[in-house]
Amino acid sequence: MEIFCTGCGRALKSNESFCTGCGTKVRSPEASETMKVTPPMDRTSLKHGAAPKNKTALITIFSIVGIAVIVIAAYFIVNSLKDSNHEAAPAAATSAKKTANEKGTDVKPEEPVNAKSEESMITDSIQKLNALRIHTSGLDISVGEWEVSNENGKLSLGATSIPSKSLARIFALYDAGNINSLKTWAKEVYYIAEDLSQELDADWSIEAGNNCVSEHPASLPSSDLMAYSGSCGYSIPVLSGTDKDDLSLIINSTVFGTTDVTQPTTARSGEFIFPDSDYQRLTESEVAALTVEQLRLARNEIYARHGYIFDSADLRSYFSKKSWYFEDASYDGTTVNEIEKYNVELIKSRERYLK
């Protein structure tokens, strides 16, 4: 068995008492047997710190593992707190409602978000009003542009720029007693106002009609004409009112109900031979009372309501004096309703009989 110097690690010969390398005394063979047979660690290894390097590596590994454990633990703790909050919120709200109810306090429910703004509601109503027409004798009469506003819970619906031609036709319908077509239109205006009123929780008022104009109903009593006239002209409302019961046409005719004003016979007979021939069937006894010339005028009166332009000079002269007659170059005389067709044929039959 080899023996090594305990001082420098040099291999010694069995007979050497001292190390020739460093001078260290060599122990006895008996003591050498108890020594480690492996050579001592090289001083160079100790000098460069091999063991500290291993220790640093272990510390780094344990640090990484520790950080990972902390991160995982924190993740589960945060999620646990979130779940606790979600569960606690409804419970707290329920508890608050319960407490409020026990105290006799009303808890307001969440109000639904109004998907439609007031401005868009008003715009929709204006579009509906502008699209309305007064349908009569093949004509579609427009009252022009409407304006709608809401101030302090008061809805105002107005049409104050009715085209002159349309205004004259409306008054002519009134003079002719053809109030039903005006009523139908007026009711549509009312329904639009009522719907908007409910949506905005506001009262409404309606005012349609021009101020300071020359047009006026020929059959209107002189007292009414005086009340609505001025130095600039007439300001007679076509439709006005603030609720269903007082909504009226041309001052005196109610829109809802049966209390219509009956126009004076003299005014009606001066404007038409048959005032109702566009919506009411004539009878044989009615046409039998007329002369051939009167029958000719009565027959053409039906076409004149549509604005037909006559070739005959006498017919042009006759109808040009009527307040309700307005020439319409686009009308060719082919469009009449079924009642008008019936009345034309009845008058023609009587004309042929007399000739």
Lowest mean pLDDT among 197-206, 228-237, 256-265, 319-328: 256-265
Strands 203-208 and 154-159: parallel
pLDDT at 222: 81
pLDDT, one tens digit per residue, over 324-341 is 788 888 888 888 888 889
Domain shared by 342 and 277, yes or no:
yes
pLDDT at 81: 60
Region at 153 (left for phi over 0; alpha for psi -120 to 50; beta for the rest): left
Does residue 154 form part of some domain? yes
The share of the chain scoring above pLDDT 90, in percent, equals: 40
Choice between 337 and 56, residue whose per-residue pLDDT is larger: 337
Q: What is the CATH number of the domain that holds 280?
A: 1.20.58.1690
pLDDT at 326: 83
- How many structural domains does the chain have? 4
Domain shared by 159 and 181, yes or no:
yes
> Of 220, 243, 267, which marks where a domain is finished?
267
Q: What is the DSSP string of 278-308?
A: TTS---HHHHHTS-HHHHHHHHHHHHHTTTP
Tokens of 111: 């109000």
Confidence band (pLDDT; 50, 70, 90) for 29?
low
Which residue blocks in 19-117 are alpha helix, DSSP H?
Answer: 29-34, 43-48, 50-102
Residue 225 CA to residue 216 CA, distance in Å, equals 8
Residue 48 CA to residue 58 CA, distance in Å, equals 18
The pTM of the whole model exceeds 0.85: no
Confidence band (pLDDT; 50, 70, 90) for 290?
very high
Residue 130 CA to residue 162 CA, distance in Å, equals 11
pLDDT at 79: 64
> Of 231, 252, 267, which marks where a domain is finished?
267
pLDDT at 48: 46
Residue with tokens 């608050």: 96
Domain shared by 149 and 184, yes or no:
yes
pLDDT at 226: 87
**77, pLDDT greater than 80:** no
pLDDT at 76: 67
Q: Which of 47-56, 250-259, 281-290 has the highest mean pLDDT?
A: 281-290
Q: 190, 206 in Cβ contact below 8 A?
A: yes
Choice between 9 and 217, residue whose per-residue pLDDT is larger: 217
Confidence band (pLDDT; 50, 70, 90) for 34?
very low
- Closest by CA to 294, choosing from 315, 273, 278, is 273
The share of the chain scoring above pLDDT 70, in percent, equals: 72
3-state secondary structure 212-245: CECCCCCCCCHHHHHHCEECCEECCCCEEECCCC
pLDDT at 266: 38
Average pLDDT over residues 198-218: 93
Domain shared by 295 and 179, yes or no:
no
Average pLDDT over residues 119-144: 90
pLDDT, one tens digit per residue, over 80-116 is 665 555 444 454 444 444 444 554 545 445 544 455 7
What is the sign, positive or negative, of the torsion defined by CA atoms of 306, 158, 191, 241?
A: negative
Does residue 104 form part of some domain? no
pLDDT at 50: 46
The DSSP output letter for 263 is: P
Does residue 97 form part of some domain? no
Domain shared by 303 and 329, yes or no:
yes
> Of 267, 289, 321, which marks where a domain is finished?
267
Domain shared by 249 and 338, yes or no:
no
**pLDDT averaged over the chain?**
79
Domain shared by 71 and 130, yes or no:
no
Cα radius of gyration (the chain)? 54
Q: Domain of 7?
A: 1-40
Confidence band (pLDDT; 50, 70, 90) for 203?
very high
Domain shared by 157 and 226, yes or no:
yes
**31, pLDDT greater than 60:** no
Confidence band (pLDDT; 50, 70, 90) for 181?
confident
**33, pLDDT greater than 80:** no
Domain shared by 278 and 137, yes or no:
no
**264, pLDDT greater than 50:** no
Choice between 26 and 314, residue whose per-residue pLDDT is larger: 314
Residue 57 CA to residue 67 CA, distance in Å, equals 16
